[in-house]
Amino acid sequence: MAQNALNDIPDGTFEPLTQLEYLYMYGNNFTELEADFFPDLENLVYLDVSNNPTTTLLDGAFRGLTNLNSLILSSCDIRELNPNSFEGLENLLSLQLNFNDIEELPLGVFVPLPNIEYVGLWNNRVKTVRRNSFGDIDNLVTFDLDGNIVNALDRVFIDDAVSLNTLYFNGNLCANNYFGNFLLSRTQYLPMLQTCFENMRFIVDITTEDDGEYSFFEGPQPGIVVRVNTDSEAQIALTPFNFEWSPMIEVFIGTENNTRSVIRINQNTNVVTVPTPNIIRPNQWSDFRITWANQIILVFSGNNPFPFMGFTMRDFFPVNFYGVRAVNSTAAWSVQPVD
């Protein structure tokens, strides 16, 4: 079924093909793989859906493919993975996600793949490799991260990947190497990854309560990328200490019932106020960047290159820490340094 300009599969298409083992669907026009996209194919072992403009993988897209061994999703313009994108693929051995635009590996995204041996993420935009993105990785032999922008790698991931023998890591920020024969050369390679391990101290995954208290963390220079999942306004404090103090700058995003955003100094003076209707997406991840280089505070939304708020600090103080909290709501946060 490859290269046929298909953009939809009518219900019942696969119903007579219960013994089908190999399915080639590359080079079509699928823009979305919805839940249960491949029903009735429980004997499928090989699926190639590469070279489609598939920007979205909905939860449960591959549900029911319990015997699938190999899944190819390369060159599909995928920008985001959902935590349940690979639900039901407990026998998958090889996953190819090369040549996409993936930036984040969500919490638990690879947990449904307990037998995975090969993960290909060559030429994406992955910044951080967290241990909690994966479940059982005892069988992982090859991990391809060539051509990404990785600046932090969880040491626990490397320690738990006891069968890892090939790590492709060329072109990344914290290291730029090919690590072949990892099993025998682990002692030699670990120091070459030390910067990647150390940078994990700046990676924060936390849930804050609705108690009005900031949770403080070390502030990486020159700023942070913030992902927040909340149904109320998000507040970020920039301070020289790991507690509320003057001088302090606070960034309120989605205040006044998600209609405005504000920069406030010393807990009492609003110096910037801009209209930002519906900038916080309730029960979804909202993305922001905050930088503080050269005494200038800039706040960006998503990947927009232009800030929607800015403020020049008249009285300079070093931003050594940042704090996060949400108003009258629990909130999930994922924070890492800017590129």
The model's pLDDT over 145-179, given as tens digits with 9 standing for 90+, comes to 999 999 999 999 999 999 999 999 999 999 999 99
Q: What is the pLDDT of residues 8-27, one digit of tens each?
A: 888 888 989 989 999 999 99
- CATH 3.90.1150.10 correct for 22-201: no
Q: Please tell me the pTM assigned to this model.
A: 0.83
Q: How many CB atoms lie within 10 A of CB 272?
A: 17
Token couple for 86: 């690979």
CATH of domain 203-337: 2.60.120.560
SS3 184: helix
Q: What is the pLDDT of residues 98-129, one digit of tens each?
A: 999 999 898 899 999 999 999 999 999 999 99
Spatial separation of the C-alpha atoms in residues 319 and 182, rounded to whole Å: 39
Token couple for 292: 């503080």
Strands (E), 124-233: 128-129, 142-144, 152-153, 166-169, 177-180, 204-208, 215-218, 223-229
With beta carbons less than 8 A apart as the criterion, state whether 110 and 71 touch.
Answer: no
Eight-state DSSP code of residue 1: -
Phi then psi for 274, rounded to 5 degrees?
A: -135, 145
Spatial separation of the C-alpha atoms in residues 290 and 281, rounded to whole Å: 18
Q: What is the pLDDT of residue 69?
A: 98
**Domain residue spans in the chain?**
22-201, 203-337
Cα dist from 79 to 82, 84, 267, 292, whole Å? 10, 15, 38, 27
Q: What secondary structure, in 3-state letters, does 42-73 show?
A: CCCCEEECCCCCCCEECCCCCCCCCCCCEEEC
**22-201 against 203-337: fold identical:** no
